[in-house]
Structure 1
């Protein structure tokens, strides 16, 4: 990441003074850059400015670090304390210039009216005692100016950036906004691959008087003449940008000298894209009437230039070379061919790692956007079935949408040595898919082709692409793999379209009920239209069990898929989920998942599920290997990173868990589950509560009441009873606090009072929680956790015998090793609360003798839940002995019940 200190200045025609929007040298190292230039004029000392500093809270925004400052403005990275997100806080010094406030207002008005993926987003605007401010999205990456300074930009990248800029400007123009200061420092290339147009401080819109001037090298003739301007002024600046990206030079000089002399821009030559120089010349016409009318017109022309694939002669040449090399066996060696270059590139040995980036849809219809998304997803699925390739999962590549993409950075982030890009276009009954295979380190094109067929043949196109990629990368296909990727899922085009749309809604749903319902309805229509559509039935089985836990429907769909295609990998993933959710049979789920990963070794989802299931039954080494491989296949998966961290914590491999946590925090810094789980690692390892205490200060206003986030927060509050009571008093804990497992809010309050040594208050709260807990245990008699929570509440109200009886019943239900460790830790807490220290020590001894379980000697010394045991010689000796064995690297050993461990010297 970089901070760009903008060097150019805006000028007011007829003067030598910078206008109040210029900037020079105002950058500071930071994690991100929010791109509005700050003035270069030196600022006079202003005591009020001392009021802005890291840690200062203004409204709901806490300033974190300064990103840049100038003559009358300053930008901070800030944290929105209510929403838990990082933002850019942009303030203007009051009283420095009337035009400073005017420009801030212009920017706020312009951005507030514009909502587009290629335009910076305004979150808030306000005024405090120190002056006015804007709050905008915080961007990570670098400016286009920085990218130009790095060296030549390949034509495909130029086109992608220009199309994104044009798309953002087209949206602004449609809303009546003219940017008027487009330049490379106001175009931001985000790490995610998105391109953002920034700095609307000179925008003309909403009837406001125009601000004169601009940045000299990018100003249109009408700006220099102070004549009326419109969208074609931005079109001219976009032409300057294109010229600079393609040639590295400014067409009219850094001060616009040639333009003011009336000299036309020099003609470009762009090998391989002859239409591009003609378009640039058109954009740089000195007469506005001769330019395209607005950015939407430019975008259409750019798309037309980007769409064509290599001509027939080039494709025939590729086919001949490929055939010859295949015949000689060279393609399986260390040679990769390029389509347009006459040289070979060295290739590393071993399986290639391929990232298939999201395909761009060149059609305007939303249905065709579904089509492009579906083609992309199905191609990944096909490639993942090949054992000779390592294919990055869809979840990781989806973070790099079509547009300007830094392939080198993406390859490094994903661990991919090969990247596939493509475009999809459907018109009537025809479909065109153009793809290219690129080495991200060198930018070398390894292979490219275009497929133009009937839309009903789209699967055949995908298959041909998959086979050609496998061949180009030297992957040897077994007969079974070839059959698997060449078998069409359906021959009914409408059923296929319904299926693709259903997957689109399911994969984007993130728990949104309306999207889940739409996905299920579309998949059902696809299966009904083609009764032989096994893949649709398999996905329906997974959807119904995951979303609704409708076991009967899931089994029905799975049976239909099995009758049609019993070896389908997605079928076995669905069957595994049925075994887990409906039958509570973890070992049967493992057998299904082993079948799935044999059929599709690159399926990251199946591999991650397999890893989690294997750790559940105590096969920790195999399970952790699966989870590591799943994360390598899906390196941008937050769930993969935090899932690996969780399993590493369970087996007390805390150092590796912290490394997995670092990745998880990078991917989703605001997620409560990751925030809390990772903050508790030092507590379990070292008894260090400081990071966990810091995590309490980072909790969002709205706390989770379900899922992993609620469960990890419950563990945190158990260690900080004062905080639990404070949050309960603020009414920030939902009731119930969690439903799966059921944890009434009164239970959390009771446990907090008990940890504080307040038995009467604890008794009252636990008594309030008991009816709900008793009802849940009766309704779910095989639920280990239902009986454990009931037992803890019974201990809290003084029913010790019932508490130990129900705790024993829960422990007996723990059929898997990981569950037994959890049960015994809970039994120890219940016995301690019930006044049975000997039983508590026996339970703790069992957990400490295991290779798993969240019990460590360091944590036992500070955990308030076990405070009643401290001072008991059996407990104290157990902790000392466990710490000594841990320090010596000894494997925990089991001791007979009732036997006190030998105290370490």
Structure 2
């Protein structure tokens, strides 16, 4: 298998084998990262494979530092594979061969497993095979729970999986999933199990860590099962009675007598004096504070406070803050879920939330910092004051969170800029919220609001940087180059006022790129990467510049960096898929495009761009029916949005639809698609990439009509710098259009 390719993974070496199949170290060709690739045994029935694949897909929702990330499952040549995070380190089983850990270290390991289970079980996922072999001690000492790819959803399991997938045979006709000695009694006698079975397994692991011997020993599998069903483990000498009681409760045979949740188990350990916080980064979700005044005009206050606290935490080296755009997307799409539940879904340890009331000039703010795994409130504050003192309030709130989380101080904290006028700040916060929607109408409103902020406070660096972004995005649907000049002026003025302003440098890079000043743009992007290595935008915009020039290998590398930093950045995934398509990496392209389209869909964004580019990938693979379906889906999606790229996305879908029809010999359908695209362009002549749309229509129409004069016209327009708008987006680029014209020429004038 070494050297072979499975989907977009290249196998590098064998790591081991188990009852379910073999595990290999593989290289993810789409994202340039190592993965653990499990290839399942080929003797599973198709029904069992389908069931296992469905259950494994549930694990894509798990995002926790204590869980080895499940990437995907699929099948190639009737062989099912599961791709997971590759964790460097040693298993807990290997570590135990060197002796049992200290009691404090044992509790840390157990607490890490329980934190992971709080996240997994709340998502309805039950592991069912927790044991020392499936616990990895990473090189940095953190604990990772492995093999969630074989978990199942919390519902009665179907017979085909229980009968066929497991390799733990009880009788000739029945079987269970899990490892005897760690599985709960109800797992042996019933398929109806829930998260309490995982807590039993953690208890068995905890017993082994504390004593050095198995909780349910036996020389054979049947002996270990009999021990689990008929006897309780012997007490461990030297253990306090409180700890003995906790361990005994975890190992109760009756699930009703056990801890009912991992949160309850964690609280019990903390209740007898143990430190139960695992050594994971302090991942924090800072939610917009709830407006309890009832006046929508005051919504900006909660968003502003949350943004200020999040920005302060984001600068700390041992804190990870969930991006506001991610939280905004989740809260808009999950109105029935509490902030604590959303924080748990995101694998956060901490959730910062609260509310406020404005009464005239008075403001009352109540906030809480909650430890997500234990649901314990570790900080609760109430502040009353005047609305004019909101900046001082924000500083106090941020300071309280930093102290509560014992975060590292900044080695050289930047000098804080002077606080803007309150009215300017209100307009700025509202403008930023509008900007994040990336819709034409919302961008117009954002420009109005930020203009008012700057009227009140002309030297407001944050507002100037935002204005640079607004003008840059206006260009995407107007192609008015004055917007780029305005974006550059605003960004440069922001940098004069605040030389370390990363957002200003991001939008400066974008404006320079769109103006054709490529070396300056790359220099600005590199400044972003150096000043804030965790910011994905510097890598994203640099990738766009390289793709514009046809340097797709470099674009892929930069986009891989961007999506690694921001896995929820849907359009970065779509651009990565486009770059892979141009390199002929079609498996990698389909996977990346699928991920991007899924993310854009979940955020109520248009999927037309992802659909159109996925259709082009299918077309190049000769999968014409799939290509047509994707084009039609993209066109339908484009009609449901006011996204700034909508017009360009629609043109991409129509052009791919025409090319697909020509490949199938259906000139009538191709002509219809080109006619629609031509009418679309006439009504939207200023859209991004419009000049290249015009050339591509001419070239494809030349093939459709067998008309060499149209082909000549397409070449003439492409070569004329004064006639062609050369604004670029994805496949509407000079590089891509030149290649298409050459392809069309070869169809009309085939080389003999």
- Normalized against structure 2, the TM-score is what? 0.58
Determine helix, strand or coil for the equivalent of 1:554: helix
Query: Taking structure 1 as reference, are residues 733 and 138 closer, same or farther at Cα in structure 2, changes over 3 Å only?
Result: same
Which whole-Å CA distance do the structure 1 matches of 2:750 and 2:196 have between them? 81
- How big is the shift at 1:264? 0.5
What's the offset of the Cα at 1:617? 2.2
Instruction: Spell out, residue by residue over 1:366-413, the C-alpha distance to the aligned partner (whole angstroms, 9 max, x if none).
Output: xxxxx99998754342367x8x999988559989x988999xxxxxxx
| Equivalence map 1:470-489=2 (5 Å) | 472-478=409-415, 480-481=416-417, 483-484=418-419
Question: Are the equivalent residues in 1 in contact too, given 2:136–2:143 (CA < 8 A)?
Answer: no
Task: Please give the alpha-carbon distance, in whole angstroms, between the structure 2 residues aligned to 1:802 and 1:224.
Answer: 75
* Displacement of 1:586: 0.5
Instruction: Give the unaligned 5+ runs of structure 1.
Output: 1-27, 31-52, 80-84, 96-100, 270-276, 312-353, 364-370, 407-419, 436-448, 490-529, 682-690, 834-862, 873-905
How far the C-alpha of 1:740 sits from its partner, in A, is 0.4
| C-alpha contact 2:36 2:86 (8 A) present in aligned 1 | no
Structure 1: distance between partners of 2:48 and 2:586: 42
CA distance in 2, matches of 1:286, 1:383: 37
Partner of residue 463, structure 1 = 398
The separation in 1 between residues aligned to 2:249 and 2:113, in whole angstroms, is 21
The 1:804–1:555 alpha-carbon spacing in structure 2 relative to 1, beyond 3 Å, is: same
The answer to whether residue 743 in structure 2 is matched with residue 864 in structure 1 is yes
Following superposition, the deviation at residue 539 of structure 1 comes to 1.7
Aligned residue pairs total 619
Deviation at 1:611, TM superposition (A): 1.6
Distance 1:707 1:810, change over 3 A: farther
Partner Cα separation in structure 1 for residue 611 and residue 47 of structure 2: 46
1:183 pairs with one of 131, 135, 139: 131
Q: Counterparts of 1:643 and 1:244 in 2: how far apart (Å)?
A: 52
Distance 1:375 1:693 in 2: 45
The counterpart of 1:614, out of the listed 512, 517, 520, is 512
Contact preservation (8 Å) 1:537, 1:561: no
8 Å contact from structure 1 (residues 607, 629) kept in 2: yes
* Cα distance change on mapping 1:465 and 1:645 into 2, 3 Å: same
Deviation at 1:560, TM superposition (A): 3.9
Distance across 2 between alignment mates of 1:640 and 1:453: 37
Provide structure 2 residue ranges, at least 5 long, that are not aligned to the other structure.
28-34, 160-169, 219-223, 290-300, 328-341, 357-364, 372-376, 386-392, 598-605, 636-645
CA deviations on 1:208-238 (whole Å, 9 max, x unpaired) are 8996897566477999999x99987654432
Of the candidates 657, 668, 675, which is equivalent to residue 577 of structure 2? Answer: 675
* Structure 2 residue aligned with 1:842: none
Q: Does 1:538 align with 2:431?
A: yes
1:102-140, CA deviations, whole angstroms, 9 ceiling, x for partnerless residues? 9999989998999974899999999x999xx98767454
Partner Cα separation in structure 2 for residue 804 and residue 225 of structure 1: 74
Deviation readout 1:398-433 (Å, 9 max, x if unpaired): 89x988999xxxxxxxxxxxxx98564769985444
Counterpart for residue 113 of structure 2: 161
SS of 2:722's equivalent?
A: helix
Counterparts of 1:589 and 1:89, CA distance in 2: 51
Question: What residue in structure 2 maps to residue 296 of structure 1?
Answer: 260
Question: Is the Cα–Cα contact under 8 Å of residues 770 and 793 in structure 1 kept in the other structure?
Answer: yes
Q: Is the 8 A contact 1:381 1:603 kept in 2?
A: no
Preserved contact between residue 394 and residue 634 of structure 1 (Cα < 8 Å): no
Of 562, 584, 587, the residue aligned with 2:485 is 587
Task: Indicate how the Cα distance of structure 1 residues 74 and 732 shifts in structure 2: closer, same or farther if over 3 A, else same.
Answer: same
Q: Which residue of structure 2 lines up, in the alignment, with residue 811 of structure 1?
A: 722
Give the conservation status (yes or no) of the 8 Å contact 1:89–1:135.
yes
Instruction: Name which one, 1 or 2, has greater alpha-carbon Rg.
Output: 1
8 Å Cα contact 1:615/1:623 also seen in 2: yes
Q: Could you list the per-position Cα deviations for residues 713-759 of structure 1 after superposition, in whole angstroms to 9, with x for gaps in the alignment?
A: 79989xxxx838763796245158784065376755766899x9x9x
Q: Residue 7 of structure 1 aligns with which residue?
A: none
Q: 1:558 aligns with which of 440, 450, 456?
A: 450
d(CA) in 2 for partners of 1:223 and 1:612?
57
Paired residue for 1:453? 381
Q: Distance in 2 between matches of 1:559 and 1:202?
A: 51
Cα shift at 1:590:
1.8
State the Cα deviation string for residues 822-845 of structure 1 (Å, max 9, x = none): 987799789xx7xxxxxxxxxxxx
Give the structure 2 partner of residue 349 of structure 1: none
Give the structure-1-normalised TM-score. 0.50
Q: Deviations over 1:66-93 (max 9, x none)?
A: 87545675679999xxxxx998664474
Q: Determine if contact 2:215/2:233 at 8 Å carries over to the other structure.
A: no
| Alignment match, 2:544 | 646
Match of 2:522 among 624, 641, 649: 624
Separation in 1, partners of 2:553, 2:237: 60
